[in-house]
Structure 1
Amino acid sequence: MGGSDPHSALVDNHSLHIHTMSQWPTNNGALPKLFRSFMLLLKPVIQFITLLWFLCVKIKAPDVFIVQNPPSVPTLVALKWASWMRQSSVIIDWHNFGYTLLALSLGRSSRFVAVYHWIELHFGQFNPNHTNRATVLYDQPPEFFRPAQLYEKRKLFFRIKKDMFRLNSSIDCISYGITANDMQDPNTTIFTNKIGDNYQLRQNRPALTVSSTSWTPDEDFGILLEAVMMYDRRFAALLNENVSNGDEVFWKDVDEGKTFSYPRLLFVITGKGPEKEKYEEKIKKLNLKRVAFRTMWLSPEDYPLLLGSADLGVCLHTSSSGLDLPMKVVDMFGCGLPVCAVSYSCITELVKVDKNGLLFSSSSELADELMMLFKGFPNECDALKTLRNGVLETGLSARWATEWEANAKPLISKVIAGDLD
């Protein structure tokens, strides 16, 4: 219902017809508490009626409904009614369990969670007189998730320059020394500059790290904040012990007899959700010297470019059910981006340690990984280069179209033909 605009590849596809439903108002905070409770109860009822109108009246009767779960309420209830009324089959993409997500905020013992679980279990079983078939379909990135070319990076960084530089707010290690003229200069960004007729990446650029989040309880953003504070403190300790040169600090590696540097870190956090403002306030109070954060919402066209331009991805997703894999990591791999991800039960199906990424279970482990991966940035960070090469070797071959043809399409064909009995 409403929400974000789809990618232009979907909008421009004449085989697809997008029906947009009105989004439920979200600015209910100023309402009296009793009225807010009434609105929460009214919301699923209105959504249920709206869904039935679209599924049963506004669109033509399909051979099969395909729906992603969660949300289960009121989606699965409305879909069961609609499939019965229109004699259509149903395929559910069990992306996760809705009741386990609800339990993160209300607790497993909550009666609301128990009711939600019953609804999900009862209405998630379609065709009771036939065999319910399950097929594993791994998320894969579409073709537009790919490594970005230098000219694409330059154009992207110029488009989001105002989000990167914050002249009217507190100055950090990214905005320091930036003037209004710099903001208007099309040849200069944080990461690129123009030498003669050619553009190139800056040697003293910050390391760009991206984390995509829905700002929900199943992603503990506090782990990242603690990790960057550790990075900042360790950097300060190195600064006191070694030689500082402009934007970098150099130190002697006694074992290898080499000189290495550590970069400033710029974390770009994309996404929107209920806990965003809470963590933005926490970020403002960190007083970091060598690390900066930017939160933003990018267009469907710019988001893949950002991933394809970054140096490292961080995934904070911890599955509420322990069964789902984060699509954001799939997208990062599609863009050739290595990932540091929170460790949980099935994540190793996706993140192969020391091949395409690293896992962590605590903020100190993530801080260690940041120090290790960005040692010698941008030219001598061998550990980061090894992971990127691993992603490029294995992560660009599997695409959504291939996975669809191999697993989803045959299942849909059998459902339509009624061959699943």
Structure 2
Amino acid sequence: MGKRNRAAVVVLGDIGRSPRMQYHSLSLARQAHLNVDIVAYGGSEPHISVSEHQSIHIHKMPQWPTFPRNFPKILRPLFLILKPIFQFLVLLWYLCIKIPAPDCFIVQNPPSVPTLVAVKWASWLRHSAFIIDWHNFGYTLLALSLGRSSPFVSIYRWFENHYGKMAHGSLCVTKAMQHELSENWGIKYEHELDISKWPLFCMINLLNFSGLHHSRKSMMISKNLNEPYGLCDCISNGLLRADDNDPNLTPFTERVGTDIFLKENRPALIVSSTSWTPDEDFGILLEAALMYDRRVAALLGEDDSTGDEVVWEGIRDGKEFLYPRLLFIITGKGPEKEKYEQKIRKLNLRRVAFRTMWLSAEDYPVLLGSADLGVCLHTSSSGLDLPMKVVDMFGCGLPVCAVSYSCIKELVDVEKNGLLFSSSSELADELMMLFEGFPGRCDSLKSMRSNLMERVSSVRWATVWDENAKPLIHKVISERST
């Protein structure tokens, strides 16, 4: 059977929230010169480079409905059993009927059930190659809610293992996962695609982050700053109180004529992207923010009635020091968002403010490139995957403080591009250390950003994809077409 010059990218999830699969789609179209059919759910819009590419076609599947509020509890088990059956049939319909026959299917895992089963069946029926991009293990995510001893977790793992072995090629995000698949799952690699360390955003040229001006940041977020999670906070009641209607003043910049200047007393901007799920303990960040708030007050001998200034000065060991206010912007959607927003309202923070936002694929990297620090709370259900949000932050030249777990050092080089923490107290220590003297000093923060920008300028996704993914894809396609 001859080559069809087509590839299908399969995601049983929101394609707008699957950046790595969007990058694969762009590389397949641009570098492998293939027509690409993306089969996924709708929800969030993908990046404009994907949605407007002439060779990329997005097919949005219907989703299984959520529980109605008054749905009888006795029927919920039946509802949950029918869900994967519905998903399986919809997937088969799209992969076998709705889209043209591809040379290969590239599927994101997890979820594994029924995705791997459906894609394997479709690849057999359409004589196509079957490639899995392993982001994590699905059975470990299921175990977060059911427990490792659950028979459903064991069944799920069997499906993931059985159909994983049937793939004609595999890609994964870490060397630790590659070793696990090779040694314990019997899945061998001929090409390593360790693309987890590379600045993905640079591939699609979203911005020249080294030249990004903070005025863009100010315009983008200022409209949301007057919506505090309490009666008042240090942003709404301090910085913007007198300047709401002045277009030349923002919390971060001041415009004089045609020139825009960064304020010396601006708050530090910290970004954390989260899916608001149990594998990311957002409580750690809240506790660390509270500790920072109280520690600065204690150092300066202040009580809770003070704190109207933007930056506090003091003397410690004969040395002048400065600590800024901190503005945390939390991006993402997920089930636990409302719960934590309620907790934020009760904290009564004086020197720290929180805002939650959902940004478009175009605005998100603008925020990352404008921030002073990123925080990652991902802990990994398997201990073998890496948070792609950190990859995005690094691609924008943003240093990161990340939760420490088994293979995170494959990504975070401590004191070179970020720091690791295991508790809220450790994160608070790092915030105190990194932002002492902000914005003029902060040598550690500046050094890490400099290291990242040097790497961003020398490494691109396209190069790594060409060297690793492209040969594997061409190989499996050639084998299936002969």
TM-score calculated relative to the size of structure 2: 0.81
Change (3 A) 1:56 1:12: same
Q: Which residue is 2:259 aligned to?
A: 198
Distance 2:70 2:142 in 1: 24
Q: Which residue is 2:386 aligned to?
A: 325
Task: State the superposition RMSD in angstroms.
Answer: 2.6
State the shift of 1:253 in Å.
Answer: 3.8
1:27-54 per-residue CA deviation (whole Å, 9 max, x = no partner) reads: 6344232344333222222211111111
Distance 2:65 2:334 in 1: 14
Work out which of the residue numbers 242, 252, 266 in structure 1 matches 2:315: 252
The residue matched to 1:415 in structure 2 has which SS?
helix
Distance 1:267 1:147 in 2: 23
State the shift of 1:305 in Å.
Answer: 0.3
Change (3 A) 1:159 1:146: closer
Q: Give, as a single letter, the amino acid of the residue that structure 2 aligns with 1:84.
A: W
Q: Which residue is 2:155 aligned to?
A: 115
Work out which of the residue numbers 236, 248, 271 in structure 2 matches 1:210: 271
Change (3 A) 1:167 1:410: closer
Contact 1:66–1:90 (Cα < 8 Å) also in 2: yes
Change (3 A) 1:225 1:178: closer
Contact 2:201–2:396 (Cα < 8 Å) also in 1: no
State the shift of 1:24 in Å.
Answer: 3.2
Q: Give, as a single letter, the amino acid of the residue that structure 2 aligns with 1:40.
A: L
The residue matched to 2:402 in structure 1 has which SS?
strand
1:93-123 per-residue CA deviation (whole Å, 9 max, x = no partner) reads: 0110000011112110112211111111122
Distance 1:324 1:157 in 2: 34
State the shift of 1:175 in Å.
Answer: 0.6
- Counterpart mapping for 1:9-20 below 5 A: 9-20=49-60
Change (3 A) 1:181 1:61: farther
Contact 1:69–1:98 (Cα < 8 Å) also in 2: yes
Q: Which residue is 1:154 aligned to?
A: 215
1:276-317 per-residue CA deviation (whole Å, 9 max, x = no partner) reads: 122112212211111111111000000000000000001111
- How many residues are treated as equivalent by the alignment? 417
State the shift of 1:209 in Å.
Answer: 0.3
Q: Which residue is 2:91 aligned to?
A: 51
State the shift of 1:418 in Å.
Answer: 1.4
1:61 aligns with 2:101: yes
- Counterpart mapping for 1:106-255 below 5 A: 106-126=146-166, 133-134=188-189, 135-137=191-193, 138-139=195-196, 140=198, 141-143=200-202, 144=205, 148=209, 153-166=214-227, 170-177=231-238, 182-240=243-301, 246-254=309-317
Q: Which moves more between the two structures, 244-253 or 382-391?
A: 244-253
Distance 1:233 1:169 in 2: 17
Distance 1:46 1:190 in 2: 50
State the shift of 1:184 in Å.
Answer: 4.9
State the shift of 1:147 in Å.
Answer: 5.7
State the shift of 1:189 in Å.
Answer: 2.2
State the shift of 1:179 in Å.
Answer: 6.6
The residue matched to 2:401 in structure 1 has which SS?
strand
1:100 aligns with 2:129: no
Q: Give, as a single letter, the amino acid of the residue that structure 2 aligns with 1:142.
A: F
Q: Which moves more between the two structures, 221-230 or 302-311?
A: 221-230
State the shift of 1:157 in Å.
Answer: 2.6
The residue matched to 2:130 in structure 1 has which SS?
strand
State the shift of 1:401 in Å.
Answer: 0.8
Q: Which residue is 2:46 aligned to?
A: 6
The residue matched to 1:294 in structure 2 has which SS?
strand
The residue matched to 2:347 in structure 1 has which SS?
coil
Contact 2:201–2:365 (Cα < 8 Å) also in 1: no
Q: Give, as a single letter, the amino acid of the residue that structure 1 aligns with 2:267.
A: P
Q: Which residue is 1:415 aligned to?
A: 476
TM-score calculated relative to the size of structure 1: 0.92
State the shift of 1:148 in Å.
Answer: 3.8
State the shift of 1:395 in Å.
Answer: 4.1
State the shift of 1:164 in Å.
Answer: 2.0
Q: Which moves more between the two structures, 389-398 or 68-77?
A: 389-398
Contact 1:89–1:415 (Cα < 8 Å) also in 2: yes
Distance 2:164 2:158 in 1: 10
Q: Which residue is 2:18 aligned to?
A: none
Q: Give, as a single letter, the amino acid of the residue that structure 2 aligns with 1:377.
A: F
The residue matched to 1:259 in structure 2 has which SS?
strand
Q: Which moves more between the two structures, 138-147 or 309-318?
A: 138-147
Q: Give structure 2 stretches of 5+ with no counterpart.
A: 1-40, 169-185
State the shift of 1:420 in Å.
Answer: 13
Contact 1:145–1:335 (Cα < 8 Å) also in 2: no
Q: Give, as a single letter, the amino acid of the residue that structure 1 aligns with 2:52.
A: D
Contact 1:145–1:308 (Cα < 8 Å) also in 2: no
Change (3 A) 1:391 1:184: same
Contact 1:313–1:337 (Cα < 8 Å) also in 2: yes
State the shift of 1:384 in Å.
Answer: 1.2
Structure 1 vs Structure 2: percent identity of aligned residues?
63
